[in-house]
Structure 1
Amino acid sequence: MAKQAPRFKYYAQNQMSLIPHSLDDFIPKLHPVRIINTVIDKLDLESLYDSYAKCGGVSYHPKMLLKVLIYGYLNNVYSSRKLEQACLENVHYMWLSGMSYPDHNTINRFRSSKLKGYIEQIFTQIVELFIEEGFISIEEAYIDGTKIEANANKFTFVWKKAIANYKEKMVQQILEIWGYADSIARQESELPPPPDFKKIDVDTITQAIDTLNAALKDNPDIDQKVKNKLKYITKEYPSKIKEYQEQEATLDDRNSYSKTDNDATFMRMKEDHMDSGFLKAGYNVQISTNNQYILSYSIHSNPTDTTTLIPHLEKFKENYGVLPTAVIADAGYGSQENYTYLESEDIAAFVKYNTFDQEQEQLSKKPRKNSKQDTKPFTADKLFYQHNGDYFVCPMGQQMHYIGDIIRTTTTGFIQTLKQYQAKNCQGCPLNGICHKAKGNRTIEINFELQRYRKQANELLNTKKGIDKRKQRCHDVETVFGNIKQNHRFRRFMLRGKEKVAIEWGLLAIAQNIRKRAA
């Protein structure tokens, strides 16, 4: 009996089709690439088109490049070279590009230059489309921030404190030589007093050096070591001071920056692979979300969240013309300035303050394991206050009376007023040293306005609506960051500079929203 041959499906690599295939035939009907195509086709991109030159060579269509970029960020393809390769090999990119083959320079130039000033408009239009479809509401905004590493060398840091120390050492060196020169000059002529160096700049340093050189010039009795030191100072210090001044101008109100990305600040990163909290150059990215869609985003060089809330909400207002009616955020945003702003804008502030969780644990019948115990029973917030007489009662039952106000200004220029109250006869008190450790009578500073805001926030957060909002925040805004950083492995920006970083995050935000829409 003849052995039966195996059967295979027909295979002819060079077989021609009577009717050529269309790339559209290879794209499933509900594929995310179709959603990107549909959404981008609905946008008004005239302002982006107008940014192109009206004469010269023919450019790739910006709508096509935008689609390719967004689809790349949707699929964790962030490199312009990999996007170039995908347009040659991947049927989805080929369908989006209409069989155009932009090279990596074109893609990168479009991303870093052409989208500057337009990406936020594009993002806002897409959000408004989803609002019309009923997927998003801008009434409630869940706000949080995360730190993303910058594309910068971690060893190219500049620290404000280090600059101040270097400048002080330079002044000290000049004053030492000044003292030596003064002792020499007494034998012949009077040397003027040294500058006060209240402002250590190029002019002050140069004038001091010139005075020293004139005083010690042609004097054969000068110590050779002093001569060499003065020669070094004359050559190096003016240029060094100029460099420090330029660095201080770049720092502005920051404590550090990177030389390879001047807009990046050194921050402690949670995602450090060594779990050591290593400082890296990065950006503080703030987003507001609703139903896990990103409503707005902002990029900050300040590592703390406290000072980012107001500029973030102002950008929200700039994009949509209105502010949300409710803001839900964690304790990192619970400052007096933020509460004041939210109240002035008539926004419901579901915003924790720094001791809220600890207070909730203490009120709970079953505190969590390893929770912080109250080791400071005599702090000012635990003292009884008598409104009628405007005084506090110390732990020994003595009255602490009002003695005056203290005005403080925050780094953002916000003015706080604190009232001071002072006790009497603390020296012979049996609790002296336990109640407080300062010398003399105990003095406390009370910010009644902040206390009022905290009381309002506590009451609002403990309503049924407030409890629901607190629970919702954890799996609304934090989930978005987790998805981008963990699932889609975006933990480091590829572009440098705050403007370009904003473009890159804008593409990520658009991709996140379309990804959520396609889910």
Structure 2
Amino acid sequence: MLLNQNTNNNYTARQLKLPLEIEKLIDISDPVYTFCEVMDHIDLSGYFVEKGYKTGRPRCDEQKLLKVILFAFMENGVCLLRKIEKLCHNDIRYMYLLDEMKAPTFATFGNFIRNELTASIEQIFTDINTYIFTKDHVDLQHTYIDGTKIEANANRYTWVWKKSCMKNRQKVFDKISILIDAMNQKVLGYLGIKLEKREEYAIGYVSELLAMYKERTGIDENSFVSGCGHRKSIQQKQYQELEGYLKRLKTYVHHIEICGNERNSYSKTDQDATFMRLKRDYMGNDQLLPAYNLQAAICDEYIAVIDVKPYASDMECFVPLMEKFSHTYGHYPKYPVADAGYGSYNNYLYCEEHGMEKYMKFTMYKKETTDKKYHENPYRAVNFSKDADGNLICPNGQKFLFKRRQHVKYNKYGRTEELYECESCEGCPHKQKCCPRAHKNRTIRMNEELTAIHQEVLKNLESIHGALLRMNRSIQSEGTFGVLKWDRSYKRLFRRGEKNVILELTLISCGFNLYKYHNKKQRQMKVA
């Protein structure tokens, strides 16, 4: 009797058993539970309004999309859209967050971030911080401030320099003046017309000159000749030359307007990025790279405020960061702690105006505190003695007489400084140590208010409280950037434009705070 040898290969031994409960497969200490705890206490319905579409496929649930995106940033620091799509198909935690919703594509995530989160992500970040700060009792009075330059998503050789544009624009002005002389002499003089020259030429005026020249000479652009074997008329040559100068003027004006009054450069592929010198120069020739100045205010290891500015100097970024802090939390921090990059006269007066203590180092702070020879140098103006009338007395016993008061440039608070000149430095035995480069009597510039502020800052920072704050700043603020740039390998932006860069960095800050809250929660559970 023949046996039936038919076999069925349409099966696999690795099959799931039903019913399947996803929550039993996720470890109890997994970050997804901490994430759900925070998000469940936030009302997200106000951020996503139903559009009321009557046709097309059903829309994805915006709240679930947001949760998947934020959890991906929480886990990875920064997460690519295609990777999020892959995680939704393969990672059971993302299936748990989707809650039976079909896994979206990377394009769905991209459209959602671009169209829905650009305007609302900062408020969502504030809501997340409000819950976390309340649960963890975060102190918002002590704020640790630091900045770092992060490379923009812009091409390398796309720089535009403002000074170069202004210099070349002046050269075009000179060439236009020479051309107007040639027009008046060779063509318009025979017609009884004379064009007016100027030192600087506006675009509108050059356009009027071009139209006037075309009208009075009666030339027709359709009759212009070009190429080998054709001879251009003098009218055509002058008209096309002036037209070329007009085009160059428009280009230079466009570049200068984009730079504005506060920047000296920008990138053509990301016009909000400014060329700065970065610590990590992969080109190896100390070349400027397009970048943004990332500013963060840290409170108890959490990112309280994140901001981005196209300024290379940290001094210009302090006031906008504090204004954003006040707008977000309704008050200014009492103790803003920052390094020497933020200590300026403007920022100190700003702290006085808004009730903030001065715990920001100034430029020469390290030398003042560590270099005893510099601090006690008798030839420094701050170490000069004073007579009964308040006049400064140099080590040789000569008086420094008040000469004049002068305004300090680029100071919006109207800062002035006093200029003093020595009575006589002739035959002084201390000249080589006091002022070796001075050809006449020594002059010094002083601002008594700024000197008093520096003494106050030194007193604050050298106290026990100030020492603890300085130690915490180096741990918390610089440690935050260390986690972002090295632990999570986030060293270059993915988006272009200041508005999109803030969106990207706010998403990363949301993920950072959520993961920090999860880690603190797990440590507290182990201790308990």
Give the TM-score band, short-chain normalised.
Answer: 0.7 to 0.9
Tell me the equivalent position of 1:302: 311
| Unmatched tracts of structure 1, length 5 or more | 1-10, 219-223, 364-372
* Matching of residues 432-511 of structure 1 within 5 Å: 435=435, 437=437, 440-511=440-511
Query: Shift of the alpha carbon at 1:346?
Result: 1.4
Q: Secondary structure at the match of 2:408?
A: strand
Residue among 51, 54, 63 paired with 1:53 = 51
Query: Shift of the alpha carbon at 1:211?
Result: 8.2
The separation in 1 between residues aligned to 2:264 and 2:511, in whole angstroms, is: 33
Query: Shift of the alpha carbon at 1:290?
Result: 1.9
1:14-39 CA-partner distances (Å, limit 9, x unpaired):
5562x321222221111112211221
Q: Do residues 80 (structure 1) and 81 (structure 2) align?
A: yes
Residue among 329, 334, 347 paired with 2:338 = 329
Q: Secondary structure at the match of 2:415?
A: strand
Residue among 179, 196, 199 paired with 1:196 = 199
The separation in 1 between residues aligned to 2:165 and 2:136, in whole angstroms, is: 53
The separation in 2 between residues aligned to 1:186 and 1:258, in whole angstroms, is: 42
The separation in 2 between residues aligned to 1:303 and 1:174, in whole angstroms, is: 36
1:170-226 CA-partner distances (Å, limit 9, x unpaired):
1222234456667779998896763122xx5313444566788999999xxxxx999
C-alpha spacing 1:434/1:185, structure 2 compared with 1 (3 Å): farther
Tell me the equivalent position of 1:389: 389
The separation in 1 between residues aligned to 2:276 and 2:504, in whole angstroms, is: 20
Alpha-carbon contact 2:210-2:239 (below 8 Å) kept: no
The separation in 2 between residues aligned to 1:390 and 1:206, in whole angstroms, is: 63
Counterpart AA for 1:448: E
1:471-490 CA-partner distances (Å, limit 9, x unpaired):
11111110000000000011
Query: Shift of the alpha carbon at 1:55?
Result: 2.9
Tell me the equivalent position of 1:4: none
Tell me the equivalent position of 1:129: 131
Tell me the equivalent position of 1:235: 243
Tell me the equivalent position of 2:357: 348
* Matching of residues 265-304 of structure 1 within 5 Å: 265-274=274-283, 276-304=285-313
Q: Secondary structure at the match of 1:282?
A: strand
Q: Choose 333-342 or 40-49, whichever is displaced more.
A: 40-49
TM-score (norm. length: structure 1): 0.85
Q: Do residues 103 (structure 1) and 108 (structure 2) align?
A: no
Tell me the equivalent position of 2:64: 64
Counterpart AA for 1:354: T
Tell me the equivalent position of 2:257: 249
The separation in 1 between residues aligned to 2:217 and 2:376, in whole angstroms, is: 61
Alpha-carbon contact 1:142-1:328 (below 8 Å) kept: yes
Counterpart AA for 1:329: A
Counterpart AA for 1:357: K
The separation in 2 between residues aligned to 1:376 and 1:237, in whole angstroms, is: 60
Q: Choose 281-290 or 383-392, whichever is displaced more.
A: 383-392
Q: Secondary structure at the match of 1:327?
A: strand
The separation in 2 between residues aligned to 1:397 and 1:275, in whole angstroms, is: 53
1:127-184 CA-partner distances (Å, limit 9, x unpaired):
1112211252111100001111111112122111111121022122223445666777
| Unmatched tracts of structure 2, length 5 or more | 1-10, 220-231, 520-528
Q: Do residues 264 (structure 1) and 264 (structure 2) align?
A: no
Query: Shift of the alpha carbon at 1:408?
Result: 2.8
The separation in 1 between residues aligned to 2:392 and 2:427, in whole angstroms, is: 19
Tell me the equivalent position of 1:165: 167
Alpha-carbon contact 1:254-1:265 (below 8 Å) kept: yes
C-alpha spacing 1:83/1:98, structure 2 compared with 1 (3 Å): same
* Matching of residues 399-414 of structure 1 within 5 Å: 399-410=399-410, 413-414=412-413
The separation in 2 between residues aligned to 1:172 and 1:196, in whole angstroms, is: 8
Counterpart AA for 2:288: L
The separation in 1 between residues aligned to 2:495 and 2:489, in whole angstroms, is: 16
Q: Choose 90-99 or 482-491, whichever is displaced more.
A: 90-99
Aligned residues: 490
Q: Choose 248-257 or 224-233, whichever is displaced more.
A: 224-233
Q: Secondary structure at the match of 1:359?
A: helix
Residue among 143, 146, 151 paired with 1:144 = 146
> Percent identity of the aligned residues?
28
C-alpha spacing 1:213/1:434, structure 2 compared with 1 (3 Å): farther
C-alpha spacing 1:439/1:47, structure 2 compared with 1 (3 Å): farther
Alpha-carbon contact 1:383-1:395 (below 8 Å) kept: no
Q: Secondary structure at the match of 1:453?
A: helix
The separation in 2 between residues aligned to 1:234 and 1:401, in whole angstroms, is: 58
The separation in 2 between residues aligned to 1:73 and 1:460, in whole angstroms, is: 39
Alpha-carbon contact 1:299-1:498 (below 8 Å) kept: yes
1:479-512 CA-partner distances (Å, limit 9, x unpaired):
0000000000111111111111111111111111
Counterpart AA for 2:258: T
Alpha-carbon contact 1:426-1:432 (below 8 Å) kept: no
TM-score (norm. length: structure 2): 0.84
Alpha-carbon contact 1:268-1:277 (below 8 Å) kept: yes
The separation in 2 between residues aligned to 1:279 and 1:462, in whole angstroms, is: 37
1:46-104 CA-partner distances (Å, limit 9, x unpaired):
33113x42334532222211221122222335211111121112222222222431111
C-alpha spacing 1:149/1:316, structure 2 compared with 1 (3 Å): same
C-alpha spacing 1:84/1:391, structure 2 compared with 1 (3 Å): same
The separation in 2 between residues aligned to 1:181 and 1:385, in whole angstroms, is: 70
The separation in 2 between residues aligned to 1:225 and 1:352, in whole angstroms, is: 68
The separation in 1 between residues aligned to 2:362 and 2:234, in whole angstroms, is: 58
Alpha-carbon contact 1:392-1:400 (below 8 Å) kept: yes
Alpha-carbon contact 2:359-2:460 (below 8 Å) kept: yes
Q: Choose 479-488 or 167-176, whichever is displaced more.
A: 167-176
The separation in 1 between residues aligned to 2:161 and 2:277, in whole angstroms, is: 15
Alpha-carbon contact 2:151-2:290 (below 8 Å) kept: yes
Q: Choose 151-160 or 438-447, whichever is displaced more.
A: 438-447
The separation in 2 between residues aligned to 1:240 and 1:468, in whole angstroms, is: 57
C-alpha spacing 1:14/1:360, structure 2 compared with 1 (3 Å): closer
1:279-312 CA-partner distances (Å, limit 9, x unpaired):
2212111111122111111111112110111110
Counterpart AA for 1:313: M
Tell me the equivalent position of 1:367: none
